[in-house]
Structure 1
Amino acid sequence: MRAAFATAFNDADPLSVLEIGDAPEPAPQDGWAVVDVRASALNHHDLWSLRGVGLREEQLPMILGCDAAGIGPDGSEVVVYPVVYTEKGDFSILSEYYPGTVAERVTVPAYNLVPKPAELTFAEAACLPTAWLTAYRMLTTRGRLEADGSVLVQGAGGGVATAAVLLGTALGARVYATSRDAAKRERIAALGATAVEPGARLPERVDVVIETVGEATFEHSMKCAKTGGRIVVSGATSGHLPRVNLRRMFALQLEILGTSMGTPEELADLMALLARTGIRPIIDSVIPFSEARKAFELLHSGDVFGKVVLDHAQ
């Protein structure tokens, strides 16, 4: 079957170790199911895999990809939940311990198949399991954002942050979002948020801060949280050791909450929200699987706004 996989590691030039070609057909274990992939979405995680982050040489070649939607063994339309427990009892996402989704077929535990709502296309559904699920959990389960609440999204333009802008608006909250890029601020404002420069003073202190940037924005995040506010962290692209003002933290009774991904049940709730409200993931490009290298090149360029999706029917 066709697949995209890492053949080696190269931190300086990750695309040089990307191969598009034939891979063995998946052999499911008991309780596992094979999905015919109709669409997969790329993440920066795929580029990190090519750089050698989270993989060992003895695992190569490794099929890339965390996100996919397709047809389950019973003919139903499904979305693949990407978190799988390993034989050791810990867990990882697809393409770390088990082969990933940028292939004609992928095998996962049957528990990982979540029914796809008819309202969502395969391309739209494939965007959800990693970035969108993370953003949804940050806002709801961890952030406890209420319909009339307020949220600050740091570094909008990235996958999780942009999803949080759209989801926060759909949940009925007042959404503020920062970006260093004026063009991205303009696009974020068109999605319903109040877009501001990093470090800018907000009209109000917020209930929830969505933090994926880390050191560069964390002080601002703490200043913007109201008494009892929640700062929910799922990334640290600018550094993972920010200074934390403990006096502000205990005086305002702030919560700093870590999170990662979500559950299959939360993925189902997320898709139900999209089906109900009509909001959809922002897709930068849909590229035929036959041109998969072009999709990786586009992601690597950084010149994208939204998800890069592979159409496996082409």
Structure 2
Amino acid sequence: MRAAFASRFDADNPLAALTVGEQPEPAHPEDDWVTVQVRASSINHHDLWSLRGIGLGADRLPMILGCDAVGTAPDGTDVVVFPLVVDPGDPRGMSILSEHFPGTFAERVAVPRMNLLPLPAGLSATDAACLPTAWLTAWRMLTTKGRVDEADAVLVQGAGGGVATAAVALAVALGKRVYATSRDAGKRERITQLGATALEPGARLPERVDVVIETVGEATFDHSLKSAAPMARIVVSGATAGHEPKVNLRRVFAMQLEILGTSMGTPGELTELLTFCAEHEVRPVVDSVVPFGRIEEAFARLHSGAAFGKIVIDHTA
């Protein structure tokens, strides 16, 4: 079957390690696994990290990439694939598709039956394919970890990427005052169109916020601390600009701040997110929809840093 996979690693030029070609049909490690015909998927930075050799061992090459998918189950129903798989061989007890088990950038993918969630009416395959990784991470950051229901104002650092842009859209839909930073003037304009107040990195906010969504890391963390109201939650799911920031511990304890780490979410949280998006007519911010035959172009756009929102792969085109 046709697939996009990591054939080797290249830390400096991950695009050179991407191969599109034939791969074996999906195998079923256990009896409760099923094969899904993939209709749409979306790219995450995790896929570029895999091509660099981060989180993926050479002994698992070639590895089909991709975490997110919407497709058709064996019984003909439309399903969203939850991408985390129970994995006794991983220290965390589970792994994401494309780490130990082949991913979703293929005509078909095998997953445990319990990982299949119904596609809600009103959500297209291309929209729903954006949700299982980046949007689920943002949802968990805001709700489970950030307790945004107790908040009035939210700061999202580095909006433009998949998780941060999702956090902006979701926080606005949840009725919060949202501030978001970006170095790019064009992205700040797009952020404003989503209903948030767009700011340059490090800019003083009109008010302190109750929840900070932090995916940037070292470059923005001091600003996150200074922007936090007493007893605020700073929720961290990434460190794209440095993972060892200096932290003013006096500010942390004096302001009673919570610094919380998270990644991904649970099947229940993904179900909540799917329902929320369907019922409130919230749609993912989609940068572009690319036919599978041009998937190399999709990877190149993500790697360039120019994308605003999610890049979706249409497997039917």
- In structure 1, runs of 5+ residues without a counterpart are none
Residue 166 of structure 1 pairs with residue 147 of structure 2:
no
* Aligned residue number for residue 216 of structure 1: 219
**C-alpha distance after superposition, 1:68-99 (max 9, x if no partner):** 10111221111111111213362111101110
* Distance apart, 1:148 and its partner CA: 5.9
- In structure 2, runs of 5+ residues without a counterpart are none
Helix, strand or coil for the counterpart of 1:226? strand
Residue 202 (structure 1) aligned to one of 195, 200, 205 = 205
- 2:151 touches 2:211 (CA, 8 Å); kept in 1? no
Distance 1:190 1:306 in 2: 13
* Distance apart, 1:147 and its partner CA: 7.0
TM-score when scaled to structure 2? Answer: 0.96
Residue 188 of structure 1 pairs with residue 199 of structure 2:
no
Moved more, 167-176 or 280-289: 280-289
Count of paired positions: 314
Residue 127 (structure 1) aligned to one of 130, 135, 141 = 130
* Aligned residue number for residue 182 of structure 2: 179
Matches within 5 A, 1:162-311: 162-311=165-314
Distance 1:130 1:258 in 2: 16
Distance 1:148 1:236, change over 3 A: closer
Q: Identity rate of aligned residues, in percent?
A: 66
* Aligned residue number for residue 3 of structure 2: 3
**C-alpha distance after superposition, 1:285-305 (max 9, x if no partner):** 111112222222222222211
* Aligned residue number for residue 35 of structure 1: 36
Helix, strand or coil for the counterpart of 1:146? helix
**C-alpha distance after superposition, 1:201-228 (max 9, x if no partner):** 1111111000011111111111111111
- 1:148 touches 1:174 (CA, 8 Å); kept in 2? no
Q: Write the letter of the residue equivalent to 1:17.
A: A
- 2:213 touches 2:235 (CA, 8 Å); kept in 1? yes
Q: Write the letter of the residue equivalent to 2:312.
A: V
Q: Write the letter of the residue equivalent to 2:159.
A: A
Q: Which runs of 4+ in 1 moved over 3 A?
A: none
Moved more, 256-265 or 277-286: 277-286
Matches within 5 A, 1:41-56: 41-56=42-57
* Distance apart, 1:53 and its partner CA: 1.0
TM-score when scaled to structure 1? Answer: 0.97
- 1:148 touches 1:172 (CA, 8 Å); kept in 2? no
Distance 1:252 1:119 in 2: 43
Residue 97 (structure 1) aligned to one of 87, 100, 109 = 100
Residue 16 of structure 1 pairs with residue 16 of structure 2:
yes
Moved more, 119-128 or 287-296: 287-296
Helix, strand or coil for the counterpart of 2:39? strand
Residue 78 of structure 1 pairs with residue 79 of structure 2:
yes
* Distance apart, 1:67 and its partner CA: 0.6
